A = this chain, B = another copy of it.
Amino acid sequence: MQFHHTKLANDLNIVAETNPSARSVAVGFFVRTGSRDETPEVSGVSHFLEHMVFKGTPRRTALDVNRDFDAIGANYNAYTSEENTVFHACILPEYLPQAVDILADILRPSLRGEDFDMEKNVIIEEIGMYEDQPMWSAYDAAKQTFFTGHPLGNSILGTKSSIANLPREQMLAYFGRRYVGANITVVAAGNFNWQHLVRLVEERCGDWPAGQAPRELRRTAGADTVKLVTKPKVAQEHLFLVSAGPPADSPLRYAAEVLANAIGDDSGSRLYWALIDPGLADAADTSFHEYDGAGAFYTYLSGDPEKAARNLAITRRVLEEVERGGLSDEEIQIAKNKLAARVVRGSERPMGRMQALGYYWTYLKEYRTVDQDLQAIDAVTGASVREVLNHYPLTRQTTLALGPLEDLKTVANNGNSRHQALVPNA
């Protein structure tokens, strides 16, 4: 494995890890832009633009894009998050030139008015589809409530009305501002020749406009509030508890991962034994999300609305106990074993390495080997977990409940409500 990095004259970065024993190549274009970089009037434009990128260029119709990827057997896709829009393909080594050609071509999309109008409907349908998935609605609402007033709370999809009212000119302007040299990193991992890759990218992307795309990085501690969204037609009650965590560039991030895993992994964690094993909740898990300048722990619960108040009380007690007493050495060791196994499994495919490379470069401007990651996990101790808990108290939390329940107080009212019957609103 060897790391490579260069920068074109327009400040576009290329980073790569070559592995001669791999049998494929994964290549991705990481654009450092997402919902946090949007103003309310263009809410959802990053994700909408991701769709439009596949709708054709001066050289290719939307059909050609599909056919050309298809002809080389590419496994290709794209996604949009709060902070990144990523377009990627995995191919056999002999098809790297075609893959770079297609990806670079579509990253300069025509954004034709006709396609724009048609795709609006697709996006609005997609928003409707997510609205039908209560877990996602609850997640979106929890994020928005916790990051209240901070752009990290912005919805990735936007709303039906923000999309319906978006003028094409706004998308063109957003594209012009955000899809510029210094804001794009081409990332590759697998079996290929580095000089060849650089030549291909230089040829296809060398004339893209240079320029910086700044991001607002003001800090936030997040809110500690309780919110209930009543949806009479939803069968289960869905709850999120959100608290602050270390940001992406913090040395505490590995300890934060261990902490989240020990609290809420899908097997053998504190919440597993407290809620899943005894059959009280259908789902209970905790995950740590890291962002540019911020971080958050998300704990998700779902289950019978009648049990929601009790389950919330149990979860809060688990979080309190961990905050007070920390984790046992055994818990830390098991979480470290699980995380190490995941890092290794994720690293075994060029696709996994490409993602890791892209993230480390986007957030830290550095290269990290798998071994460095494994050492960092191994170095987590009770003391570093304690440091996370001291800096980011789990009990300073926002609670969001979405489901049939109508009574906010009953849900919010911690331990006392444990034995109180709740009447679900069917």
Chain B nearest CB, measured from A368 CB (Å): 15
**Chain B residues near A74 (CB-CB < 8 A):** 341
* Beta-carbon contact of B23 and A347 below 8 Å: yes
* Beta-carbon contact of A92 and B350 below 8 Å: no
**Chain B residues near A342 (CB-CB < 8 A):** 73
Report the separation of the CA atoms of residues A71 and B268 in the bound assembly, to the nearest whole angstrom.
9
Encoded as 1 (CB less than 8 Å from any B CB) or 0, chain A from 40 to 75 comes to: 000000000000000000000000001100111111
A348 at the interface (CB under 8 A from B): yes
* Beta-carbon contact of A334 and B71 below 8 Å: yes
- Among B24, B70, B344, which residue has its beta carbon within 8 angstroms of that of A348? B24
**Chain B residues near A338 (CB-CB < 8 A):** 70, 73
Report the separation of the CA atoms of residues A340 and B22 in the bound assembly, to the nearest whole angstrom.
14
**Chain B residues near A333 (CB-CB < 8 A):** 71
* Beta-carbon contact of B349 and A345 below 8 Å: yes
| Closest partner residue, chain B, to A269 (CB atom) | B70
Chain B nearest CB, measured from A8 CB (Å): 29
| Closest partner residue, chain B, to A349 (CB atom) | B348
Known: A66-B267, A349-B349. A23 touches B370 (CB 8 A): yes
A416 at the interface (CB under 8 A from B): no
* Beta-carbon contact of A348 and B23 below 8 Å: yes
A205 at the interface (CB under 8 A from B): no
| Closest partner residue, chain B, to A267 (CB atom) | B70
* Beta-carbon contact of B22 and A337 below 8 Å: no
* Beta-carbon contact of B72 and A345 below 8 Å: no
Near B by CB (< 8 A), chain A positions 300-351 give: 333-334, 337-342, 344-345, 347-351
**Chain B residues near A71 (CB-CB < 8 A):** 268, 333-334, 337
Which 8 residue pairs across A and B have the least CB separation, nearest first?
A: A73-B337, A73-B341, A70-B268, A73-B338, A23-B344, A348-B349, A24-B344, A21-B21
